[in-house]
Amino acid sequence: MFWKPSPSGSDAVYIQICRHYEEQIRSGLLPPGSKLPAERDLALRLAVNRSTVQAAYGELRALGLVQSRPGSGTSVSDSMWEQGERQPDWIRYLSRRYNPSSRLQEAVNEAPREGVIDLTQGELHRSLMPLELMERLSGELDWSRPFSYRDDPQGDCGLREALASHPRIGPSLAAKPDELLLTGGVKHSLGLIARAMLEPGDAVAVEGPSYLYAMGVFAAAGIYMVRLPVDEEGLKPEAIPELYRRHRIRLVVTNPTFQNPTGSTLSLARRLQLLAICTELRLPIIEDDPYSLLGRPGWTALPSLRSLPGGRERVLSCGTFSKIATPGMRTGWIAAPRALMAPLMAARHASGLTTSHPGERLGAALLGSGQFDTRLETVRAALERRRQAAAEASAASLAPHAAIQAALPEGGFYIWLKHGLARSGLEVLQECMEQGVAVSPGELYGERPGWMRISVAAAEEDMIAEGIRRAAAALERLAGKECHRNKNNRGRREDRG
């Protein structure tokens, strides 16, 4: 039976219509891209005024559930990027914002790993983690000091001093120990920043594509993400003034070095331009910097945004041990202006009081061991071999079905591939899994179909090339299916003609 709103219901008719379609969208009955009835047609079917349907569709747009384009009507949103105007009446619902990639994320997380080469994980292979060194150092820690709620509210003083003075890390942080707050990692850091600096309904500019799209940190806090375009030189700073004017963005978030997922590095010219524009607009910059220590041997790191002139007053820099040691340490940090320390500490207190005290003490011991730099060079060399192996395998196996976008990254974990097939990320993942390899489709990062991310960090080194060959076989099968489908569609059109 066709659903109709109740004129005598406790809610206004337009609210009933909105909730009806909201339930269908969130349950998956109306998947991303599905067309909603035209406003005039739905008004006739429901026996209501067209203005009532317009109000209902407006509320759905405010929730991020649908998008309307001139000449194309209204359809279920296929991304979380903020594009149009928002209606603040529904701010209380923003924490429940629709995530069209949630099913794909679940499929990636739940995919069986038996016999599958995993090219999705953003962590080092266990052979590259300093596990033996950490085991030895853990035995040398002072366990007589209690792990107390009343420990330093900014985190272990020894680690903050080690970070600030370390010859590789300290210059990029450009911070004294009292300008550092220790956290449980980058995701925790971003959550604290959102709690301390933003309100539900605010908008932030985020690189698109970006791993932040999939993390859900901002969506969970009721924050809108506005897409900031990226090319081979990183984000495009010249786009920021228009985003500020149109969406009133409150801050800019960037992963400037070996960006996840594209591998791009923000050029020095653009770093200076970004800082100048944000200074003029009085916008803070969040610099997510987990990969800058992982450039190829001999690569000269660009100065961090925070270390540039004026950066200490404008930039909050986030780092972590997850990419250079092991995610299980659950230890990261924020370098921020002193004026922000009190609200950040209050946010940390409200989110769980303390972080990992053993992880913090182990981090300080690791940085002060005298072996950290040696281990880091080993990891840099290993990642370079892996990137080269992936590039060679891609050139040999993927063409013409996919190609590395722009130049091979000079560091980091990831390679960004364009395959160009008009197939959903779920289809790509399922076909790859059947061939015995797991990849990350581009939709996870807010990109349109036709892209995928390869991680070279977590798999066995000698299995990376084989994993890419398997991905190539999957893409070839999908290309064949697409060709067959297009041929059938042409045949049907000719028959109708």
CATH number of the domain to which 242 belongs: 3.40.640.10
Q: Report the pLDDT averaged over residues 363-367.
A: 94
Identify whether residues 168 and 299 lie together within a single domain. yes
Evaluate whether residue 2 is within a structural domain. no
Q: What is the CATH number of the domain that holds 415?
A: 3.90.1150.10
Which 3 state secondary structure label does DSSP give 196? helix
Q: Answer yes or no: do 295 and 198 share one domain.
A: yes
Asked if residue 488 is part of any domain, the answer here is yes
Confidence at residue 52, expressed as pLDDT on a 0 to 100 scale: 93
Q: Are residues 88 and 115 in the same domain?
A: no
Q: Are residues 156 and 258 in the same domain?
A: yes
Which pLDDT score is estimated for 102?
Answer: 76
In this predicted model, what pLDDT tens digit does every residue of 315-359 receive, in sequence order?
Answer: 999 999 999 999 888 899 999 999 999 999 999 888 775 678 888
**Residue 93 confidence (pLDDT):** 46
Cβ neighbours, 10 Å, residue 160: 25
Tell me whether residue 306 is in a domain.
Answer: yes
The CATH number that applies at residue 67 is 1.10.10.10
Counted domains in the chain: 3
**Domain assignment of residue 3, yes or no:** no
User: Are residues 388 and 358 located together in one domain of the fold?
Assistant: no
Same domain assignment for residues 409 and 269: no
d(CA 109, CA 239): 34
Q: Average pLDDT for residues 90-94, to the nearest whole number?
A: 44
Same domain, 164 and 250: yes
Do 313 and 193 share a domain, yes or no?
A: yes
- Whether pLDDT at 36 is above 70: yes
- Domain residue limits at 155: 131-370
Computed over every residue of the chain, the mean pLDDT equals 88
Per-residue pLDDT band at 94 (split at 50, 70, 90): very low
Task: State residue 88's pLDDT score.
Answer: 47
- Classify residue 352: in a domain, yes or no: yes
* Claim to verify: residue 250 and residue 288 sit in the same structural domain: yes
The C-alpha atoms of residue 31 and residue 24 are separated, in whole angstroms, by 9
412 and 291 part of one domain: no
* In the predicted structure, residue 440 carries a pLDDT above the cut 90: yes
- Residue where a domain stops, chosen among 370, 402, 435: 370
3-state secondary structure 85-143: CCCHHHHHHHHHCCCCCHHHHHHHHHCCCCCCEECCCCCCCHHHCCHHHHHHHHCCCCC
Give me the mean pLDDT over the 146-164 stretch. 84
Angle in degrees, CA 309, 313, 319, rounded to 5: 90
**Contacts (Cβ under 8 Å, ≥6 apart) of 456:** 119, 383, 386, 387, 389, 390, 413, 414, 415, 464
What does the alpha-carbon distance between residue 346 and residue 337 come to, in Å, rounded to a whole number? 15
Among 184-193, 211-220, 417-426, where is mean pLDDT lowest?
A: 211-220
Residue finishing a domain among 370, 403, 418: 370
Q: pLDDT value at position 90?
A: 45
Same domain, 324 and 470: no
Nearest to 205 by CA among 221, 223, 187, 190: 223
Closest CA to 383 of 310, 320, 458: 458
pLDDT tens-digit readout, 377-428: 999 999 999 999 999 998 888 877 766 655 689 999 999 999 888 888 999 9
Is the residue at 7 inside a domain? no
Which pLDDT belongs to residue 78?
83
Higher-pLDDT residue of 442 and 222 is 442
Residue 412 lies in a domain: yes
Q: Are 419 and 447 in contact (CB under 8 A)?
A: no
DSSP designation for 263 = -
Q: 261 lies in a domain?
A: yes
pLDDT of residue 403: 67
312 with 389, same domain?
no
Tell me which of 327, 343, 370 is where a domain ends. Answer: 370
